[in-house]
Amino acid sequence: MYLGDGYINRSPRTYRLHVYLHRDDDIVIAKAARAIRKLRPGHPVGFRRKGAMVIVNAYFNDWPRLFPQHAPGRKHERLIVLDGWQRDIVERHPAEFARGCIDSDGCRHRRFVAGRDYPAYSFANASEDILRIFTWACDVLGVRWRRANRQNISIARRADVARLDRLFGWAPQQLGLPLTASASVRPR
């Protein structure tokens, strides 16, 4: 989620990670806090509301080591490359990485083609590097994607959407929705 909705800033004595999430995404907010707690057991995770956002945050001296992509400026205006150890983690856990990307900057939504309703996934980011890392994870998963435009990746083939649904643990029938139609939602 850091690559999509997070940033790190220097405080007087340490670093602070901020992850901006929509206030209605309770499950995603809880997942972000749980992930931070795994890295920092016994240390507090903060929550702050700002408009439609909840900012999940935590202090830690080692955030820049865990996220070597940290640097001044906007992510889409600088180079974003995974370190070797990060690539190894994504290769071992591509579904978790892809889901984190969808949770932060994507969604599962409805797509209408020739009057028919189909589910699809979309991922959007202004950083070409982050889009490339996301599509690489999709390639590792064997999920076909296409570039919808400069900032958007679409996953719309029925078999690929079904594969992501299984990998992400997302089941439309749990929400009382038909398998081919769903509201725009983030996988939980």
Residue 159 is which amino acid? A
Let me know if residue 186 belongs to a domain: no
Let me know if residue 184 belongs to a domain: no
Let me know if residue 187 belongs to a domain: no
pLDDT band for position 173 (50/70/90)? low
In this structure, the strands spanning 6-10 and 46-50 are unpaired
Express each pLDDT in 110-158 by its tens digit: 988 898 889 999 999 999 999 999 999 999 999 999 999 999 999 999 9
Let me know if residue 182 belongs to a domain: no
Express each pLDDT in 57-108 by its tens digit: 999 999 888 887 776 676 776 778 898 999 999 999 999 999 999 988 899 9
Give me the residue label for tokens 């028919």: 116
CATH at residue 12: 3.10.28
The residue-averaged pLDDT of 18-34 equals: 90
Give the pLDDT of residue 3.
61
Let me know if residue 92 belongs to a domain: yes
User: How far apart, in whole angstroms, are the C-alpha atoms of residue 172 and residue 21?
Assistant: 23
Give the pLDDT of residue 1.
60
Prediction pTM value: 0.82
Range of the domain at 133: 88-175
Question: Do residues 161 and 144 make contact, with C-beta atoms less than 8 angstroms apart?
Answer: no
In terms of domains, do 56 and 19 share one?
yes
Let me know if residue 9 belongs to a domain: yes
Give the pLDDT of residue 113.
87
Q: Angle, to 10 degrees, between the axis of helix 94-105 and the axis of helix 128-141?
A: 140
Give the pLDDT of residue 2.
56
